[in-house]
Amino acid sequence: MKLYPAIDLYQGKCVRLEKGAFDKSKTYYENPLDAAKYWEDQGSDYIHIIDLDGSKDGQFVNFKSLVDIVQKTSLKVQFGGGIRSMANVETLANIGVDRIIIGSLAIKQFDLFKTILNQFGEKIVCAIDAKGGYIATDGWTEISEYHFLEFAKLLDQVGCSNILYTDISRDGMLTGPDLKSYQMLKVGSKQKIVASGGVSSLDDLRKLSTLNLDAVIVGKAFYENAFTFDEAIKALQEETND
């Protein structure tokens, strides 16, 4: 199970929000590259980056920070936020982004999403960000008509093999992950699942690792020193070895 430390980009800084609320942000690094280098020094192979401004505005806003991290670290970057076109995806692939997260575009322009998926395959991760069971878009500011599980099944049908599921009500709240929804996805769909939102303890990581997910994203728990990167890796390995 892969472990992705999270970097959320907002107004050029590394921040964390509570439940996706832009008026409830806390800055952890003035320069996101410093955050990325810290996680690289800790031994991480991966980093998860979201352009929060881009998610809301529908365009790349913190692109320079992304390019700096891709070019100046050896981290494999998983990136999302503001991706609204094939050209956006091609740009990210060309600069060396490892995995490209598509959320709002998949909901609002499904035919275009299928075209992108056909061209980029495993590189694409579809974000399923749920609020009350229904998928939110546009930086989590709008709620769609799609229930998360039904949309996951639709993604199965078009060959999307990677999904990132977030329970918005838990994001940045340190209240524990949405284990029930991950279990539903494992039973109801075939994708590799990336877990995001709510991780608060090593016990949360141990519980997630029993579900045979592909990866977990940890943000606020790291930045608030709930546990270290080494402790997180060991917790995930404990369950894998049992």
Q: Out of 8, 53, 167, 204, pick the active-site residue.
A: 8
Q: What is the pLDDT of residues 179-203, one digit of tens each?
A: 999 999 998 778 999 999 999 999 9
Q: 25 pLDDT exceeds 90?
A: no
Catalytic annotation present for 8? yes
- Class of the CATH domain delimited by 2-241: alpha beta
Q: What is the pLDDT of residues 201-210, one digit of tens each?
A: 999 999 999 9
Query: What are the sequence ranges of the domains in the chain?
Result: 2-241
Q: 56 pLDDT exceeds 90?
A: no
Enumerate the β-bridge partners of residue 130. Answer: 135, 167
Phi, psi of 141 (to 5 degrees): -95, -15
DSSP code string of 70-115: HHHS-PEEEEESS--SHHHHHHHHHHT-SEEEE-HHHHH-HHHHHH
**Distance separating alpha carbons of residues 7 and 98, to the nearest angstrom:** 15
Catalytic annotation present for 129? yes
Residues 6+ apart with CB under 8 A from 221: 174, 199, 200, 201, 227
Q: Out of 129, 171, 178, 204, pick the active-site residue.
A: 129
